[in-house]
């Protein structure tokens, strides 16, 4: 399925400016053609193009399929972006394919990356949502301090994966929960103070197995385990 991204007003759709060239120049779509598109709200739409120009592709939409590609759980991953952004973008791409609901980039005590490019991450997320046939575009939040994050009112089972030699629950034992929030630390792990603060805020210490994993691998492992637990 060729899938586009746009928005709707009333009974009309308007493709996002980033989609126009691909739609009209690469795929040769023109007036009278029927296309499928998402707006990121969870639905699949289809409509007929009636306006094509260098700056606009629009038309009337006549079909909406709600909850298209939806999964039976919500999963928020709060993770410190890696120093190498390619690895973080890889995580975003793959986690969206597997069904993450929300990604919150974290600035932690040991974070090596203090800045992210939100526009670039949006493009990666959109591409992954379209490729994996998802109607809902996961929210990627701005870079958030660890302190501000744990103060948020977060619904669901809350977990923190860390490498400290202390009692931790296997994540597989909680991965079947319908609403999950998982904390993944930076290269170098969370600081002891952060681990303690998270636990005081209600986060359950968990582990992801016997191997020590890179940040992006650990985050994707958590997403994969939740996905598999709900098959």
Q: Beta strand 12-15 with 3-9: parallel, antiparallel or unpaired?
A: antiparallel
Q: Are 77 and 206 in contact (CB under 8 A)?
A: no
- Per cent of the chain over pLDDT 70 is 100
Global model pTM greater than 0.85: yes
Look at residue 72 in the predicted model and tell me its pLDDT. Answer: 97
Give the residue range(s) of CATH 2.40.240.20 domains in the chain.
3-65
Instruction: Compute, in degrees rounded to 10, the torsion defined by CA atoms 223, 224, 227, 231.
Output: -170
Residue 128 has pLDDT above 90, yes or no: yes
Digit-coded pLDDT (tens) for 162-179: 998 889 999 999 999 999
Give the residue range(s) of CATH 3.40.1280.10 domains in the chain.
74-229
Residue 217 has pLDDT above 90, yes or no: yes
**DSSP code of 19?**
H
CATH number of 74-229: 3.40.1280.10
The CATH class, in words, for 3-65 is mainly beta
- If residue 18 lies in a helix (H) or strand (E), which one and from where to where? helix 17-21
Average pLDDT over residues 207-222: 95
Position 38 confidence tier, pLDDT thresholds 50, 70, 90: very high
Q: Are 176 and 229 in contact (CB under 8 A)?
A: yes
């Amino acid at each position: 399925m060729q899938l586009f991204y746009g928005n709707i007003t009333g009974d009309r759709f308007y493709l996002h400016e980033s989609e126009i060239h691909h739609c009209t120049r690469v795929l040769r779509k023109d007036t009278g053609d029927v296309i499928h598109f998402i707006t990121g709200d969870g639905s699949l739409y289809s409509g007929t193009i009636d306006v094509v120009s260098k700056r606009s592709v629009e038309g009337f939409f006549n079909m909406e399929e709600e909850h298209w590609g939806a999964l039976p759980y919500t999963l928020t991953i709060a993770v410190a972006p890696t120093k190498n952004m390619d690895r973080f973008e890889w995580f975003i791409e793959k986690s969206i394919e597997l069904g993450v609901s929300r990604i919150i980039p974290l600035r932690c005590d040991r974070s090596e990356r203090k800045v992210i490019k939100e526009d670039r991450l949006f493009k990666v997320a959109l591409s992954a949502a379209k490729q994996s046939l998802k109607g809902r575009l996961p929210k990627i939040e701005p870079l958030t301090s660890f302190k501000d994050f744990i103060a948020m009112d977060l619904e669901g089972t809350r977990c923190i994966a860390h490498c400290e030699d202390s009692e931790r629950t296997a994540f597989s034992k909680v991965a079947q929960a319908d609403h999950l929030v998982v904390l993944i630390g930076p290269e170098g792990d969370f600081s002891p103070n952060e681990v303690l603060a998270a636990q005081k805020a209600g986060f359950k210490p968990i582990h992801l197995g016997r191997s020590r994993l890179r940040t992006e691998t650990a985050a994707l492992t958590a997403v994969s385990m939740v996905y598999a637990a709900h098959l």
